């Protein structure tokens, strides 16, 4: 069926409290995407809406969005895989096009997390774990990732400073990303200053500065068959490889606590499908919901050997000028994390990088980019490899 390309990308600003409805929030990413692709809604064969449920009262948002955005009577679908929902949406769009069922598919990711309190949000996230055996005991995302951080420290000698350096890098680029929630500088000294919120404990060893923030936001992608992509766009970015995996939901069934197996497995599949290796990746977006998550991603994706991810951040190899730039848009740590929109935002960043349209965040002449998007505490994992050739 030929190649599949991305011909349009869009994203709302990620904010702490969006004042409009979820359909208006979705429109923010949609309008940028449509302007980018310069096509008509009549050219879109189908749409996929992606989010995690129970953050707002609307059931079945796909139909609501299709009506509001003028995408009826074309079919619309709803999918969720927690924080990796919109990269799962891209995989489904790719599959629909490869099967020949559709030629042009829109993927809309959204989340309006401010409609409920922080405590309620933590409870919803906890229910991403097993509601029979784990979440009734009060599990929360920071505590889960704190277990991984502690295990990584015990096995590899990773330090609190190593983790803090990841947040310092995130703020370097978050300051120049107009879509980001957190645009203030973060220094290493803040993590040792008891007067700085960055140093406040959340779940030992993780501190406030090690954690991303909830946000409201939307993202939008337009995916097309090779024939349509070439007809509509003079700058398509091609999907070279897609990998996906899942892991046991209960921590007691996990056999790895110094990395996320879904990242390793999805990465391996994507590299094989694309016919590339980690050394071929010019720029990457990885799921940095916590600083330890980015550290583990370095190692799970083969950018560093197990235990050597800390050397990459210490030597600034994951900065824009380094050998493997990672999250040079600020990542989740600076952009914020509107669950259903996050994967689409990561994909947008890499598409702009490969087009040479990333502005101050632009990496020098990248040809191949990677997106690593995790759902839950390593429950779902998606890795997508994109190329301009």
Backbone dihedral angles phi then psi of residue 78, each to the nearest 5 degrees: -125, 135
Is residue 369 a part of any domain in this protein? no
3-state helix, strand, coil in the chain (%, to 5): 45, 20, 35
Domains: count for the chain: 1
- Tokens 């973060």 locate to 186
Q: Burial letters for 174-197: b for 16+ Cβ neighbours within 10 Å, e otherwise?
A: bbebebbbbbeebeeebbeeeebe
The active-site residue out of 83, 211, 212, 289 is: 83
Instruction: Assess whether 212 carries a catalytic annotation.
Output: no
Task: Annotate 137-151 with DSSP letters as a single string.
Answer: G---HHHHHHHHHHH
Instruction: Assess whether 83 carries a catalytic annotation.
Output: yes
Rounded to an integer, what distance in angstroms lies between the CA atom of residue 330 and that of residue 290?
13
Classify residue 284 by burial, with Cβ atoms within 10 Å: 0-12, 13-18, 19+.
buried
Pairing verdict, β 237-246 and 4-11 = antiparallel
Rounded to an integer, what distance in angstroms lies between the CA atom of residue 28 and that of residue 60?
19
Closest CA to 274 of 243, 249, 317, 311: 243
Backbone dihedral angles phi then psi of residue 108, each to the nearest 5 degrees: -115, 120
Is residue 95 a part of any domain in this protein? yes
Task: Annotate 35-49 with DSSP letters as a single string.
Answer: HHHT--GGG--EEEE
Is residue 48 a part of any domain in this protein? yes
Rounded to an integer, what distance in angstroms lies between the CA atom of residue 185 and that of residue 294?
19
**pLDDT tens digits in sequence order for the chain, 389 residues long:** 699 999 999 999 999 999 999 999 999 999 999 999 999 999 999 999 999 988 888 889 999 999 999 999 999 999 999 999 999 999 999 999 999 999 999 999 999 999 888 888 878 887 778 888 888 887 889 999 999 999 999 999 999 999 999 999 999 999 999 999 999 999 999 999 999 999 999 999 999 999 999 999 999 999 999 999 999 999 999 999 999 999 999 998 999 999 999 999 999 999 999 999 999 999 999 999 999 999 999 999 999 999 999 999 999 999 999 999 999 999 999 999 999 999 999 999 999 999 999 999 999 999 999 999 999 999 999 999 999 97
Is residue 17 a part of any domain in this protein? yes
| pLDDT tens by residue, 302-356 | 999 999 999 999 999 999 999 999 999 999 999 999 999 999 999 999 999 999 9
pLDDT of residue 122: 79
Is residue 56 a part of any domain in this protein? yes
Domain that holds residue 87: 4-117+214-232
Is residue 68 a part of any domain in this protein? yes
Is residue 9 a part of any domain in this protein? yes
The active-site residue out of 102, 152, 287, 337 is: 337
Beta strands in 133-265 (DSSP E): 201-203, 206-207, 216-225, 237-246
Is residue 246 a part of any domain in this protein? no
CATH number of the domain residue 34 falls in: 3.40.47.10
**Strands of 237-246's sheet in order across:** 76-79, 46-50, 104-112, 216-225, 4-11, 237-246, 380-387, 368-375, 283-285
Task: Using a pLDDT cut of 90, give the percent of the chain over it.
Answer: 90
Hey, which residues does 308 pair with through a beta bridge? none
């Amino acid at each position: 069926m030929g190649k599949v390309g991305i011909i349009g990308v869009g994203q709302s600003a990620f904010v702490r409290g969006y004042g409009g409805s979820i359909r208006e929030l979705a429109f923010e990413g949609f309008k940028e995407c449509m302007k980018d692709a310069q096509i008509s809604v009549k050219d879109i064969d189908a749409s996929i809406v992606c989010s995690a449920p129970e953050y707002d009262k609307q059931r079945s948002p796909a139909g609501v969005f299709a009506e509001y955005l003028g995408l009826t009577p074309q079919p619309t679908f709803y999918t969720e895989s927690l924080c990796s929902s919109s990269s799962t949406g891209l995989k489904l769009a790719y599959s629909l096009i490869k099967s020949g069922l559709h030629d042009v598919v829109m993927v809309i990711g959204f989340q309006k997390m401010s409609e409920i309190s922080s405590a309620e949000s933590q409870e919803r996230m906890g229910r991403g774990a097993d509601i029979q055996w784990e979440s009734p005991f009060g599990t929360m995302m920071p505590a889960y990732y704190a277990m991984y951080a502690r295990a990584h420290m015990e096995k590899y000698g990773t330090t609190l400073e190593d983790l803090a350096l990841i947040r310092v890098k995130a703020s370097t680029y978050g300051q120049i990303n107009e879509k980001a929630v957190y645009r203030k500088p973060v220094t290493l000294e803040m993590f040792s200053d008891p007067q700085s919120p960055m140093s406040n404990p959340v779940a030992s060893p993780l501190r406030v500065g090690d954690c991303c923030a909830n946000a409201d936001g939307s993202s939008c992608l337009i995916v097309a068959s090779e024939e349509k992509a070439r007809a509509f766009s003079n700058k398509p970015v091609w999907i070279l490889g897609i990998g996906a995996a899942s892991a046991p939901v209960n921590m007691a069934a996990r056999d790895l606590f110094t990395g996320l197996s879904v990242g390793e497995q999805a990465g391996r599949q994507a590299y094989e499908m694309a016919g590339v290796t980690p050394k071929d990746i010019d720029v990457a977006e990885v799921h940095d919901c916590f600083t330890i998550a980015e550290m583990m991603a370095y190692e799970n994706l083969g950018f560093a050997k197990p235990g050597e991810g800390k050397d990459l951040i210490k030597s600034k190899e994951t900065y824009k000028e380094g050998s493997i730039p990672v999250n040079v848009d600020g990542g989740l740590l600076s952009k914020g994390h509107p669950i259903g929109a996050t994967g689409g935002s990561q994909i947008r960043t890499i598409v702009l990088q490969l087009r040479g349209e990333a502005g101050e965040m632009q990496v020098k002449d990248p040809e191949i980019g990677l997106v690593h998007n995790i759902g839950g505490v390593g429950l779902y994992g998606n890795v997508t490899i994109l190329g301009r050739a």
